[in-house]
């Protein structure tokens, strides 16, 4: 297992048929790569206790929650995870929220989108390969 500092976190929510990111005000947090056969990660967000109702509502109403995190330092690219809330715990005057999930490979998605767009523009064969190489 590998453990990293959780620097920032956003929760994706569907509001009026639009995906909206909600920034979560972290006091602290960790993210752990379990390195198991299912490639699961554990995310622990340490928060003010006034967030408890929000996260209880998420846990009770959604099987899967998409989160975006920045690991270690602000300059790192965000990573997106499909998660479930596995715990909400009182810790003194604060809470921690535990998520378990898998990482979404953003690079693969971007490459697939780029390739699809080129095909839709009519590129094929060697011309498709050359144009794709130019873009990446």
Predicted TM-score (pTM) of the model is 0.77
**Residues 64-114: tens digit of each pLDDT:** 999 999 999 989 989 999 999 999 999 999 999 999 999 987 666 666 777
User: What one-character DSSP code corresponds to residue 1?
Assistant: -
Tell which phi-psi region holds residue 85, choosing left (phi > 0), alpha (psi between -120 and 50) or beta. Answer: beta
Distance, in Å, from the CA atom of 90 to the CA atom of 77, rounded to the nearest integer, reads: 31
Question: Which CATH superfamily does the domain covering 2-104 fall into?
Answer: Electron Transport, Fmn-binding Protein; Chain A (2.30.110.10)
In the chain, domain spans? 2-104, 105-136
Residue 10's contacts (CB-CB under 8 Å, 6 or more residues apart) are 21, 22, 23, 24, 67, 68, 69, 78
**Residues 41-75: tens digit of each pLDDT:** 999 999 999 999 999 999 999 899 999 999 999 89
């Amino acid at each position: 297992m590998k453990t990293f500092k959780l620097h920032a976190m956003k929760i994706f929510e569907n509001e009026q048929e639009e995906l909206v990111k909600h920034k979560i005000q972290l006091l602290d947090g960790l993210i752990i790569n379990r390195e198991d056969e299912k490639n699961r990660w554990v995310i622990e967000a340490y928060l003010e206790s006034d967030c408890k109702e929000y996260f209880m509502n998420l846990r009770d109403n959604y099987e899967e929650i998409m989160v975006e995190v920045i690991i270690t330092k602000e300059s790192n690219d965000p990573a997106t995870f499909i998660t479930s809330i596995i715990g909400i715990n009182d810790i003194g005057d604060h809470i921690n929220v535990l998520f378990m999930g898998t990482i979404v490979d953003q690079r693969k998605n971007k490459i697939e989108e780029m390739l699809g767009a080129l095909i839709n523009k009519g590129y094929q064969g060697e011309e498709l390969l050359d144009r794709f190489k130019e873009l990446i």
